[in-house]
Amino acid sequence: MALFNRKNTAPSTTATLAVDPALAALTGTYTIDPAHSSIGFTVRHAMVTNVRGSFGDHEGTLVLDGTDPSASTASIDVKISSVDTGIADRDGHLVSGDFFDAETFPLMTFRSTQAEQLGGETFRITGDLTIKDVTRPLSIDLEFNGSATDPYGNQRVGFEGSAEILRSDWGLTYNAALETGGVLVGDKVKLNFDISAIKSAPQA
């Protein structure tokens, strides 16, 4: 099921194709359910292992247009102070001026600008990721996990995916040298997304 526009290099004859009824039925605005979603990251520590963490406080909106999938959009706001790596001292360092400076820049945001189908249920969402005072493009590869009605009558859609960034591209450059060579914190960060979103009731 193509939630977003399939990349097409042929003449625009596809515009006359019939709309997939199952796809059209998903049209609407969806609110990300933070209780059943996660936004996490993995980064190399001391050159030998990985530190994993997540942001527990986030909100976002998906606008899916099944009749014109290219009009679908995604918007996510993440509260930096909600970072959790399992160690309070490390979390405190991450929100400090050495890293995110959460007091000055409390939110990390993503605003989509383009979406395309890569094949099957795999999609790529491109948009603007803002961390601190730096905004740069980011592409996220996502797998559409399907849609369902939960026991409470909510229509849900699900996605999971990932992306890799260099934290230095967003001004997160703090580091410390190791006596054995190398640095304490890797530059490459893997972002992980597991999203469940609930369809909003139509406006009266």
With bands split at pLDDT 50, 70 and 90, how would you rate the model's confidence at 203? Answer: low
Q: In angstroms, what is the C-alpha Rg of the chain? A: 19
Looking at per-residue pLDDT, the higher value among 172 and 14 belongs to: 172
pLDDT the model gives residue 3: 60
Instruction: Tell whether the model's pLDDT for residue 7 goes beyond 50.
Output: no
Query: How confident is residue 19, by pLDDT bands cut at 50, 70 and 90?
Result: low
Strand-pairing partners, residue 164, are: 190
pLDDT level of residue 201 (50, 70, 90 thresholds): confident
171 Rama sector, left if φ>0, alpha if ψ -120 to 50, beta otherwise = left
41 Cβ neighbours under 8 A, 6+ residues apart: 52, 53, 54, 189, 190, 191, 192
Return all residues near 93 (Cβ < 8 A) that are at least 6 apart. Answer: 99
**Contacts within 8 Å (CB) and 24+ apart, 137-141:** 137/113, 138/110, 138/163, 138/165, 139/163, 140/191, 140/193
Average pLDDT of span 129-145: 95
- Mean pLDDT across the chain: 88
**Which residue would you say has higher pLDDT here, 6 or 75?**
75
pTM of the predicted protein model = 0.86
Under DSSP, the state recorded for 94 is H
Dihedral pair phi/psi, residue 92, rounded to 5°: -60, -35
Whether residue 65 is predicted with pLDDT greater than 90 in this model: the reply is no
**Cα separations in angstroms, 125 against 102, 122, 143, 196:** 26, 10, 11, 16
Residue 47 pLDDT > 60, yes or no?
yes
Q: Residue 72: pLDDT band by 50, 70, 90 thresholds?
A: confident
